[in-house]
Structure 1
């Protein structure tokens, strides 16, 4: 596999073409440089500009890099895959997210659709969130348009996903027939006990500002002041973080507390 440093002339040119939406220049560079579509962009180590870094990304990661929504992003995906870009190639660094993970984390629905149309694996592992799927990243980072689009496109979703997205019918069916898997979110390696799974789902409903599903899950035995292991927040804390104006007064009326109150 070929590599190129991010500060080399060719890398600078192709990244600029992608981020400015200059599709003709992107096509010209790909045509003039066979194999460029699958090249990996290497970072420089900050303490030694001559040394290689182990961190690298693909040009499809460049398209989906934060904050996303670059001009003509979907067209850039189509051009890169036409020239042979591997749509499921992972980022190499602290995690192994695919371009689809990055599009989900940026709430870039048009690029997300283009990647899926090009064959991206909707269930690819590697999320920064517990090594999970693109849907895990989208929900964790409150990228709701991307999360809903992934579900529309066929992503497998667990109880906590449904809670965060406010899918009350799926949640009700789950409690009738245990329809949804109880895949545990966000950094916990062990499976939860059934009460914990309900509390996790309740926390996620509050994270998503979903009062109807939060009320239902509280009635199903969720712990009102359950503290998440991944960020130390209670349901009230995450509702306040995401400015859930309807949910906050209801939670407080139920006796919800912040983690700082509980620790005091």
Structure 2
């Protein structure tokens, strides 16, 4: 495996071509140096950390890097895969996200579809959100178009995903014997997880999904639970998501902010 520093001339050239959507220049660079398709880019500050401690990313991670939506994104993915890029390659460092995780975190539907069409694992673990799937990242970061597309493409939902996305059929099925995934959201301990109905209610508020929130509140969700991952109540989550109608409804039910509960 080849490594190159992010400020190397060749690294700068290929990253610039990708971010500009310059397909002819990208093809020329790949023809001249085919190893680029599987190379890893490391930061200059990582140079003294040892091989096992370096953070590194691939060119497919460059395509999907924040804020995403670079020109000709799907064509860039296709060209890199044509030259041998590994579609499920992982970021190395404090987390192990695949390019699909990154595309999902950027709400980049064009690139998300291109990665899936090229064989990306829709259930790959490694998210920055509790090591979970691309859907976990999309829901946690409020990237709703990506989250809905992942579900359309077959991603497995837990109750909290369904609540955040307003997927009422899936939510109702969970209460009539059809099991959804039991994965818990970002950072919840599996040894002593919070009540899954309350968590799903919080996620419905995070997603601005009032109908789902009403359904879950009527089934025992805790109205003023303070989340274990960011210290917000359902009201706080709805306010952060600018869900004005939901904020009004929550207030009518007696919801309070974390600051008011302190």
Q: Say yes or no: TM over 0.5.
A: yes
Equivalent in the alignment of 1:22: 22
* Superposed displacement of residue 103, structure 1: 0.1
Distance 1:221 1:139 in 2: 23
Q: How does 1:158-173 map to 2 (within 5 A)?
A: 158-173=158-173
Alpha-carbon distance in structure 2 between the residues aligned to 1:106 and 1:40: 21
Deviations 1:208-242 (A, max 9, x none): 00000000000010000011100000000000001
Q: Tell me the residue number matched to 1:259.
A: 258
How many residue pairs match? The answer is: 261
Change (3 A) 1:218 1:191: farther
Residues 1:113 and 2:109 are matched in the alignment: no
Write the mapping of 1:31-42 to structure 2, written as runs, cut at 5 A: 31-42=31-42
Structure in which a larger fraction of residues adopt strand: 1
Inter-CA distance 10–89: structure 2 relative to 1 (3 Å threshold): same
Please list the CA deviations of residues 83-139 of structure 1 after superposition, one character each: whole Å capped at 9, or x if unmatched.
Answer: 000000000111000000000000000000000000000000000000000000000
Tell me the residue number matched to 1:240.
239
CA RMSD of aligned residues (A): 1.7
| TM-score of the superposed pair, with normalisation by structure 2 | 0.96
Please state how far the C-alpha of 1:191 moved relative to its aligned partner.
5.1
Q: 1:255 & 1:32 partners in 2: Cα distance?
A: 65
CA gap 1:86/1:126 in 2 versus in 1, 3 angstroms = same
SS of the aligned residue for 1:222 comes to coil
- Segments of structure 1 that go 5 or more residues without pairing to the other structure are none
Residues 50-94 of structure 1: CA distance to partner in whole angstroms, max 9, x if unpaired?
998711100000000000000001100000000000000000111
User: Which residue in the other structure is 1:212 paired with?
Assistant: 211
Task: Report the equivalent of 1:124.
Answer: 124
Partner of 1:186: 186
Return the TM-score normalized by structure 1. Answer: 0.95
Contact 1:18/1:26 (8 A) holds in 2: yes
Query: Are the counterparts in 2 of residues 228 and 234 from structure 1 also a CA contact under 8 Å?
Result: yes
Larger deviation, residues 49-58 vs 168-177: 49-58
Q: Which runs of 5+ in 2 are unaligned?
A: none
Aligned mates of 2:100, 2:49 — CA distance in 1: 31
Matched, 1:174 2:174: yes
Per-residue CA deviation, residues 128-182 of structure 1 (Å, 9 max, x unaligned), is 0000000000000000000000000000010000000001111111101142123
Aligned residue in 2 for 1:71: 71
**Structure 2 CA distance for aligned equivalents of residues 34 and 181 of structure 1:** 41
Structure 1 residues 180 and 51, CA gap change in structure 2 (3 angstroms): closer
d(CA) in 2 for partners of 1:10, 1:50? 22
Large movers: runs of 4+ above 2 Å: 48-53
Distance 1:102 1:192 in 2: 29
